[in-house]
Structure 1
């Protein structure tokens, strides 16, 4: 199985089948899949969250997704906080985008982490890595992750928890598509504005 085939396997139908097949394991699959996305950011977190909401119900599905996503993000953060200064990872510090984002997080702490993690289409994996390399406190980071992921995951869960309605009610489908587009657009605008602010501060403008 090549990489593209592997990615294409992660459809809503396949994820729902996987979760339903492994429901005998209790909530474990519903937690592990969002956790895995923190380490493999090409995986579709949106589909995992929507599948959890459909398989376990809105509130339990949201809770499982939130626990998994937060746990994965914190593990990535702690890994780079512990090992980020090792010689093998020094190249990360020299990457211009990483360096600028590190400086921005060092100066502003909670705010930019929270904003970036509120939206499902911003580069949360990069944020977790850079936060681990930065001097932001663990308490600030965890507060931003728990609150930002809560906003993002509940929004996706609420939007997608009743897939049958999406099929039977075209208006709902249009609304859901619009909401997802707005989330994507707002997330990207915030990312662009943060990048401009980072560049402006970095150049002293």
Structure 2
């Protein structure tokens, strides 16, 4: 089945109906959807979070979305950490950009990873995979996930909690759009700095190799 066809079904109305249909299961559908998104990153996490906020209220909706997102991230991290060296998943670690990101995470650790996870525009699936393949400890990663996703999920929940007021009260819409723009801008700046750091590390590695070759050539002479 085409991924785009699947994505078009996951609208806020459809997810709200799904949660209401399985209301007898309590928060499990809402938690399960955010766990599922960790394994299928093409699914719209923001829609799941907004649906939870509308179905269960701001605070409970935030709690269920946050719990599901953290559990999903840890499951993906654990699976990649456990089976990352198997032939089936070796192509991840062999990809040049993934390899550079792994080295960057190993070098910088918790802080930048936490910032990346704060922003809804960060591809969290890639972050989960890279962290699983890196040498970062599980405790460090889960701390970054728990705090970073707390910021991200609460922002989404706040936006989705009362969509009607966003339409009827223009100033709230302006505030939300401002928050989204700031998150997007800061996320892009982090991405730029990340790319520069990767390029600098790559250039430094090449310089070290060239210097080593020159020394060997000098010694042979």
| TM-score (ref. length: structure 2) | 0.88
Q: Which residue of 2 aligns with 1:180?
A: 180
CA RMSD of aligned residues (A): 1.4
Alignment of 1:20-99 (within 5 A): 20-99=20-99
Residue 114, structure 1, aligned to residue 114, structure 2 = yes
Query: How far apart are the structure 1 equivalents of 2:63 and 2:16?
Result: 17
Q: Which residue of 1 aligns with 2:161?
A: 161
Query: How far apart are the structure 2 equivalents of 1:20 and 1:180?
Result: 28
Query: How far apart are the structure 2 equivalents of 1:163 and 1:23?
Result: 21
Q: Which residue of 2 aligns with 1:138?
A: 138
Query: How far apart are the structure 1 equivalents of 2:178 and 2:47?
Result: 17
The alpha carbon displacement at 1:37 in A equals 0.7
Q: Which residue of 1 aligns with 2:8?
A: 8
> Which deviations, in whole Å up to 9, do the C-alpha atoms of 1:134-174 show, x marking residues without a partner?
10001100100001000111111112211121232233223
Q: Which residue of 2 aligns with 1:19?
A: 19
8 Å CA contact 1:160, 1:176 repeated in 2: no
The alpha carbon displacement at 1:38 in A equals 0.5
8 Å CA contact 1:122, 1:188 repeated in 2: no
Query: How far apart are the structure 2 equivalents of 1:115 and 1:179?
Result: 16
Instruction: Point out where structure 1 has 5 or more consecutive residues left out of the alignment.
Output: none
The alpha carbon displacement at 1:202 in A equals 2.3
Q: Which residue of 2 aligns with 1:149?
A: 149
Which is further off, 63-72 or 112-121?
112-121
How many positions carry a matched residue from both structures?
205
The alpha carbon displacement at 1:16 in A equals 1.4
| TM-score (ref. length: structure 1) | 0.95
SS in 1 for 2:107: helix
SS in 2 for 1:111: helix
**Max Rg structure:** 2
* Structure 1 residues 13 and 177: CA distance shift in structure 2, 3 A: farther
> Which deviations, in whole Å up to 9, do the C-alpha atoms of 1:24-60 show, x marking residues without a partner?
1100011011111111111111111111111111110
